[in-house]
Amino acid sequence: MAKSKRQRKYSFTVNQKKTVQWKQELADKLREQIQHYDRMIVFRFINPRTDLIQDLRKKYRKSKFFLGKNRVLQIALGRTPEEEIDENLHQVSAQLIGQRGILFTNEKLEDIIEFFNSHRVAVHSRPSNLAPMSLTLQPGVLEGFTHNQEPFLRKLGLVTRLKVQNAGCGVPELLIPFTVCTKGKRLTAHQATLLRLLGYKNAEFRVHLYSAWERQTGVVTKIISKNKQMQLAGADEEGSDGDITSDDDVSDAEDEDGAAGIDEEMDMED
C-alpha cells in the first residue's frame, strides 16, 4: 500500500552541502584578490545587520569584504611557511577563526583604522547579547503600545490588562512589576523582543580589526584595542579584545568553520 503524503518527511531547509568544486572556486577567488589589492585586513563584524553591511560596502565600493569557510580560506593562503602562497600569509591564515573575514583594500591602513574607530551604529539587542543594564517595568499604562499588542505582551510574560482611556478601545496596563533584564546576563529571545518593542538600542554594529598584511613588503602588522579604540601595535606591545566581549556574536567557543549567521558569499561579488 502506498504511503500517505502526510507521513512523508519534507525538508524545508535551503542550505546545500558545499561541494569540492565550490571550495576550490572560493580558494581561487581569494588568491585572485590578493593580486589586485595592496593590503588585506583580518576583521570581524560585531552585531552584524545585513542593511548596515550593505551600506558599508557602498562606502568602500573599491574595497572588498571577503567571508567564507575558515578552513578553505586557511588552505588557500597556506597554513604553514612551506604552504603559504606569499610571504607571511600563514600568519594571516592563523587568525581566521570564528566569524572573521578579510578586507581587501588599497586605502591607507591608518585611514581604515580611523574610520572604523568612529563607525558605530546603535542597533537593537538580540538573543544572547549581554544585557547592558537592569530594567524593571513598574505597574501602570504601557505607553507606546496599542490594544492589539496586549495579548502578545502577555505571551512575553507580562501581567497586563486593557484599560479604557477617553472612551477609546483601551491601552495595555501592567498590573505588577516586571523585570525585563538584569545587567550582565545573556538576553533570552523574549527579553530581546521586549527591549526592541520598548525602543531600546543597546547594541552597536561596528567592525573590529585584528591585523593587516602588506603585499609589497609581506609584513603583518597587529592591530590592538585600547580604551575601545583600535591602533597599530608596537613591536613588543600586547593588545586586547576586551571591548568586544559584550556583543552577541562573541561566543564562548568560536566556530572553527566561521561565518555562522552571515551569508558566506554575501560580499564576494559587487
Give the containing element (helix H, strand E) for 110: helix 109-118
Give me the helix-helix angle, 20-34 and 70-77, nearest 10°. Answer: 50
Are both 190 and 82 inside the same structural domain?
A: no
**Averaged pLDDT of the chain:** 83
- If asked whether residues 182 and 160 sit together in one domain, one would say yes
In a domain, 267, yes or no: no
Same domain, 99 and 182: no
pTM exceeds 0.85: no
Please tell me whether residues 214 and 190 are part of one structural domain: no
Same domain? 90 vs 209: yes
Residue 8 lies inside a defined structural domain of this protein: no
Inter-CA distances, 191 with 8, 45, 173, 195, Å:
37, 23, 18, 6
What are 141-156's pLDDT values in tens digits? 998 888 889 999 999 9
Residues 145 and 210 in one domain: no
Q: Answer yes or no: do 46 and 109 share one domain.
A: yes
Higher-pLDDT residue of 167, 179: 179
C-alpha cell at 96: 581566521
Q: Are residues 36 and 95 in the same domain?
A: yes
Same domain, 163 and 226: no
First to last CA, the chain: 53
**Residues of the domain holding 154:** 135-197
| SS (HEC) of 47-81 | CCCHHHHHHHHHHCCCCEEECCCHHHHHHHHCCCC
- The answer to whether residue 38 is domain-embedded is yes
- Residues 76 and 40 occupy one common structural domain: yes
- The rounded distance, in Å, linking the Cα atoms of 174 and 154 is 10
All three cell numbers of 154, joined, read 502577555
Domain count, the chain: 2
Question: Residue 161: which CATH number?
Answer: 3.90.105.20
Indicate if 49 and 140 belong to the same structural domain: no
List pLDDT tens digits, range 197-220: 999 998 999 999 999 999 999 999
Distance CA 115, CA 199 (A): 27
Q: What percent of the chain has pLDDT over 70?
A: 80
pLDDT of amino acid 188:
94
Task: Specify whether 212 is located in the same domain as 81.
Answer: yes
Query: 75-110, pLDDT tens digit by residue?
Result: 999 999 999 999 999 999 999 999 999 999 999 999
With a pLDDT cut of 90, the percent of the chain lying above it is 57
CATH label of the domain that carries residue 100: 3.30.70.1730
